[in-house]
Amino acid sequence: MSASLQEKKQRLLEILRMEGIHDEKVLDALGGIAREKFIPDYLRQQAYENAALPIASGQTISQPLIVAYMTQELMVDDRMKVLEVGTGSGYQGAVLSKLCRRLFTVERHLPLMQRADELFRELGLLNITTLFGDGMKGWPEQAPFDRIMVTAASDKVPEKLLEQLKEDGGIMVIPIGGQEETQHIYRITRRGDDYETEILLPVKFVPLLGGIVHDS
């Protein structure tokens, strides 16, 4: 990494602290991932701006503050098995992989999944397993999960994902809301057949869609 990118990364981490990211493990995870690897080359110098950026397949890499915030609110530790719905660029998954025991990540766009899988291998993130598939269905063969993170907005909480949460204290963090309304991050905690819901930060995410897409 160039000196200027390293300086920009340090400034970004300071901004995240000022914005309320207090979990040092989360900050260390972001500090340990080269965000410039996950974006198009022409945007390299913008890698450590606190902004969402475009990637392939009409998708975006989330704003670092939102990545950090959702990761912090998911409350992950190194014993946990985590499901990520929406691999996208792979950046959020890379951050999560620094904090959990195993990460399973599902992406519906084949080119995105293939590129992310290459990056995970290149970066030595060997505790990540990828799947090209419909994220709204989760990954039932690997359920239950201690934690589930959804990186696209759903009109309502997908029942199939709730069913895949660990019964005793499993947590899901997911943006809820339509594209024409204010979306919010929800944190849902499972207690047996009961689910406790907390409404957190207002956000703007691309929609969570079913099905699979082979072309970019």
**Segment 78-121, tens digit of pLDDT:** 999 999 999 999 999 999 999 999 999 999 999 999 999 999 99
Task: Reduce the secondary structure of the chain to three states and give it as a string.
Answer: CCHHHHHHHHHHHHHHHHCCCCCHHHHHHHHCCCHHHHCCHHHHHHCCCCCCEECHHHCEECCHHHHHHHHHHHCCCCCCEEEEECCCCCHHHHHHHCCCCEEEEEECEHHHHHHHHHHHHHCCCCCEEEEECCHHHCCHHHCCECEEEECCEECCCCHHHHHCECCEEEEEEEEECCCCCCEEEEEEEEECCEEEEEEEEEECCCECCCCCECCC
Mean pLDDT of the chain: 95
Q: What is the pLDDT of residue 209?
A: 87
Map out the domains of the chain as residue ranges.
Answer: 3-203
Confidence (pTM): 0.95
Q: Does domain 3-203 have CATH number 3.40.50.150?
A: yes
> Which positions are catalytic?
62
